[in-house]
Amino acid sequence: MPDRTLKEYKNETYLDFSDPTNDKAQKKAIEEVRSNFGKEYDLYINGEFVKGDAGTFESKNPSNISETIGVFQSASKEQAFNALGKAWDAFEDWQYVSAKKRADFLFKAADVVRRRRLEINAWMISEAGKNYLEADADTCEAIDFIEYYAYEALRIDDGMDVLSETWGDHNKSFYMPIGAGVSISPWNFPFAIFVGMSVAPIAVGNTVVAKPAPDTPRMGSLLAEIFEEVGLPAGVFNFVTGGDIEVGENLAKHPDTRFISFTGSRAVGLHLNKIAAETHEDQNFLKRMVCELGGKNATVVDEDADLNSAATEIIKGAFGFQGQKCSASSRVVAHQAIYDELLEKVTEKAKALEVGNSKENYISGPVINQKAVDKIMKYIEIGKEEGRLVAGGKRAETENEGYYIEPTVFADVDENARIAQEEIFGPVTAFIKAKDTEDALRIANGVEYGLTGAYFSKDPKKIDNALRKFRVGNLYINRKCTGALVGAQPFGGFKMSGTDAKAGGRDYLKYFLEPKSATLRPAEGVDYDLEDFDFANE
């Protein structure tokens, strides 16, 4: 493989589905995928596809719940533990495979994703309810994660910066993989996050047991197929579906689990963090916890902002993928001088959003499942007591029976109201009025989360002030608060939004590494230096 550097990395470009050629190609891929609905998919343990010991379960199409995407295996606790054991067996060799060889597997995997791009989109449109662009952006992000982490692994393989020479000693510090761990990923970015959380530890020499969310198992099984195709050594990546307790929690508790990588709800994340903190009698390490736990994100619009642009970006941030993003704009904090005008513009745009089946590329599709419907509708009822309903507020009427909810906007919400404080994870946003700039930033910071935020202003001094005082991990000026790009906007947040691990950034892979400092003192009568020793793996 030729030498590669991070300078060669670039983000994958999204397809333009207003182009009839792309639209037609995506629709064709959807029809091909739909012809394969209902098939059975296996676990992938130690390089083999195997049946589950605890039965099977079905994945449904949230756009039309009469359709079954596929039948998936429920692994038993024993199978999950076996997968972890096989991961440790594979680690014995994988940890010593050179960064170049590991990266080569990942570059090949990225090429397979590119080749299967429309197919992957089609499965996501069907299983997660994303429209064409949201699905394609997800697939592109997966490609970005694979390639960026491969390039980063090559960079990290050079070790730390050269340290000073001391008393004739030669000093070198380099990174070592930490072992076999567990990745537990969410359904809202069912391919990108599943791929990113699996690939990151693998890129730097670790091995993984990856569990996808029960609502989107097909997206996880696609990666198993891809790694099988490129010949990734057995046991390096293991794909296990099944119950959150039977598989997920039991794997997290296992004394051999070296790291837990989790993206999901605050409640589950805190529970897993508590598990990670517990040490077993025969455990000889502290478990590494990497987590992203959601947000209650605010878009702050100051009095001098471009209101047309702000309204457009608020709609994208609040209602993209039905608000089912941890980065979604679920609060709009508007300066009192422009509050009414901005509210009117956003309300008009929200009412114009069409809701329907994702296979037809409606802007707004379904939410993920009945549990989500129940939770969102409960918050909408709460919102009717806490604010003024100006758009949406009910189940959407569509041709198919699915989990459809109208894009919903509440006005005149108190900053301490439940719909202004608690994560809803649906197509609901709340308008809050601020007295001035400082009041707006205070309100924006006044939640337990600190993931993303957006600030709209034309004034450089106000923007500089917001950059310093708006306490979020990802802050966007004059644009929506969703859509972080790998390598450009490392993603992760403060406070109860998680460990701020910055997925897609230069520091992320170090969560799966431990640095080692080596000092060589030449033996008497022997002339050698640091260059005589190869710290890189073969």
Residue 531 has pLDDT above 70, yes or no: no
HSE (side-chain half, CA atoms, 13 Å) at 269 = 20
- Comparing 158-167, 354-363, 516-525, the range with the smallest average pLDDT is 158-167
| Mean pLDDT to the nearest integer, 145-149 | 98
How many residues belong to the chain?
Answer: 538
User: Quick check: is 326 catalytic?
Assistant: yes
| Mean pLDDT to the nearest integer, 293-317 | 98
Q: At what angle do helices 117-128 and 99-115 cross, to 10 degrees?
A: 70
From 292, 406, 415, 423, the catalytic residue: 292
User: Quick check: is 481 catalytic?
Assistant: no
- Comparing 381-395, 464-478, 505-519, the range with the smallest average pLDDT is 505-519
Q: What is the pLDDT of residues 323-339, one digit of tens each?
A: 999 999 999 999 999 99
What is residue 529's predicted lDDT score, i.e. its pLDDT? 61
Domains of the chain by start residue, with CATH: 18-34+77-293+498-515 (3.40.605.10), 297-477 (3.40.309.10)
Helix (H/G/I), strand (E/B), else coil: 25: helix
Q: What is the pLDDT of residues 172-227, one digit of tens each?
A: 889 999 999 999 999 999 999 999 999 999 999 999 999 999 999 999 999 999 99
What is residue 86's predicted lDDT score, i.e. its pLDDT? 98
Distance CA 49, CA 239 (A): 9
Strand partners, 238: 209
Give the number of other CB atoms < 10 A from CB of residue 153.
Answer: 24
Q: Of 474, 124, 506, give the one whose Cα is nearest residue 327.
A: 474
Which tokens belong to 428?
Answer: 């609901």
Q: Of 474, 165, 178, 168, give the one whose Cα is nearest residue 299.
A: 474
What is the torsional sign of CA 122, 124, 128, 130?
A: negative
Residue 471 has pLDDT above 50, yes or no: yes
Element spanning 377, H or E: helix 370-386
What is residue 528's predicted lDDT score, i.e. its pLDDT? 67
Q: Are strands 494-495 and 43-45 parallel, antiparallel or unpaired?
A: unpaired
Average pLDDT, the chain: 95
HSE (side-chain half, CA atoms, 13 Å) at 181 = 29
Angular region, 66: left φ>0, alpha ψ -120 to 50, beta rest: alpha
Distance CA 141, CA 174 (A): 29
What is residue 253's predicted lDDT score, i.e. its pLDDT? 97
**What CA–CA distances, in Å, run from 487 to 9, 171, 492, 506?**
9, 31, 13, 8
Annotate 109-175 with DSSP letters as a single string: HHHHHHHTHHHHHHHHHHHH---HHHHHHHHHHHHHHHHHHHHHHHHHTT-SPPPPPBTTBEEEEEE
What is residue 535's predicted lDDT score, i.e. its pLDDT? 53
Q: At what angle do helices 192-203 and 217-230 cross, to 10 degrees?
A: 40
What is residue 1's predicted lDDT score, i.e. its pLDDT? 44
- 189 contacts: CB under 8 Å, gap ≥ 6: 138, 141, 325
From 119, 141, 303, 326, the catalytic residue: 326
> Model-level pTM?
0.96
Per-residue pLDDT band at 129 (split at 50, 70, 90): very high
CB contact burial 369-398 (16+ within 10 A = b; e otherwise): beebbebbbebbebbeebbeebbbbeebeb
For residue 108, report the phi and psi dihedrals to the nearest 5 degrees: -65, -40
Q: What is the pLDDT of residues 13-50, one digit of tens each?
A: 999 999 999 999 999 999 999 999 999 999 999 999 99
Classify residue 467 as exposed, middle or buried by CB count within 10 Å of its CB (0-12, 13-18, 19+): exposed
